[in-house]
């Protein structure tokens, strides 16, 4: 039988460290990040357009940086509402992923992403996609931990916050409905879990 080497996760994951006293509220501008990257042939699907999955990964990574900046610790993707691609992205296009905190709850936050593609030679900019991601802040034991509140400085930020709160409530209701349905279908399994 192969010996299993137990790795001390604290030695290998820098995200296990976090700033204890970082509960001071932060502005949205503090954590806003725009990633700009030219799409290359390694990002292409077999039809020659940029693979949706490559864009999704970039969006998730960018939103994660925003989450970590805001919380000063580890933040993981809990969910992605939906990602509709309005127009294709081509190899050579400059992709811009603008991400910022929309809303902060107790341990979770909604991060909004706007994805634009710019044709490098003509400068034509297309709104490619938008997405709402929920990130949850985790402590070193992997449990949700409280996060700093967010300061909305502009009317636009306040509108986004209010709209995101409504989405958060809908998500929570949908999760509860799923849970209730699962419990009704498998009462024994759920009770013993």
Ligand X SMILES: CC(C)(COP(=O)(O)OP(=O)(O)OC[C@H]1O[C@@H](n2cnc3c(N)ncnc32)[C@H](O)[C@@H]1OP(=O)(O)O)[C@@H](O)C(=O)NCCC(=O)NCCS
Q: Which residues bind ligand X (CB under 6 A)?
A: 76-79, 105-108, 134, 136, 144, 171-172, 175
In this complex, which beta carbon is closest to ligand X, that of residue 32 or of residue 79? 79
In this complex, which beta carbon is closest to ligand X, that of residue 130 or of residue 149? 149
In this complex, which beta carbon is closest to ligand X, that of residue 86 or of residue 143? 143
CB 99 within 8 A of CB 33: yes
Number of neighbours of residue 92 by Cβ within 10 angstroms: 14
In the complex, the smallest distance separating the C-beta of residue 96 from ligand X, rounded to whole angstroms, is: 24
In this complex, which beta carbon is closest to ligand X, that of residue 2 or of residue 191? 191
In the complex, the smallest distance separating the C-beta of residue 2 from ligand X, rounded to whole angstroms, is: 26
CB 138 within 8 A of CB 145: yes
Pairing of strands 33-38, 94-104: antiparallel
In the complex, the smallest distance separating the C-beta of residue 41 from ligand X, rounded to whole angstroms, is: 27
CB 71 within 8 A of CB 101: no
In this complex, which beta carbon is closest to ligand X, that of residue 33 or of residue 76? 76
Beta partners for residue 110, in sequence order: 103, 134
> Rounded to an integer, what distance in angstroms lies between the CA atom of residue 6 and that of residue 140?
17
In this complex, which beta carbon is closest to ligand X, that of residue 32 or of residue 149? 149
Question: Among all residues, whose Cβ is closest to ligand X?
Answer: 105
In the complex, the smallest distance separating the C-beta of residue 177 from ligand X, rounded to whole angstroms, is: 13
In the complex, the smallest distance separating the C-beta of residue 10 from ligand X, rounded to whole angstroms, is: 18
CB 3 within 8 A of CB 126: no
In the complex, the smallest distance separating the C-beta of residue 145 from ligand X, rounded to whole angstroms, is: 9
Whether the CA torsion 75, 81, 86, 90 is positive or negative: it is positive
> Rounded to an integer, what distance in angstroms lies between the CA atom of residue 88 and that of residue 50?
7
Helix, coil or strand: residue 26: strand
């Amino acid at each position: 039988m192969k010996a299993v080497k137990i790795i001390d996760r604290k030695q290998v994951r820098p995200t296990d460290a976090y700033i204890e006293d970082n509960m001071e509220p932060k502005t949205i501008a503090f954590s806003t990040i725009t990633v700009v990257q030219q799409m290359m042939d390694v990002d292409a699907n077999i039809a020659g357009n940029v693979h949706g999955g490559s864009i999704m990964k970039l969006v998730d990574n960018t939103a994660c940086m925003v989450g970590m900046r805001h919380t000063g610790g580890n933040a993981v993707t809990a969910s992605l509402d939906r990602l509709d691609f309005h127009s294709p992205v081509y190899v050579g296009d400059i992709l811009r992923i603008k991400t910022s905190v929309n809303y902060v709850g107790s341990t979770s936050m909604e991060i909004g992403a706007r994805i634009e593609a710019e044709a490098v030679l003509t400068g034509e900019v297309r709104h490619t996609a938008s997405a709402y991601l929920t990130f949850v802040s985790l402590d070193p034991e992997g449990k949700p931990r409280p996060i700093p509140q967010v300061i909305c400085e502009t009317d636009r930020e306040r509108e986004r916050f209010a709209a995101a709160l409504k989405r958060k409530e809908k998500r929570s209701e949908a999760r509860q409905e799923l849970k209730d349905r699962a419990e009704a279908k498998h009462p024994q399994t759920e009770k013993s879990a």
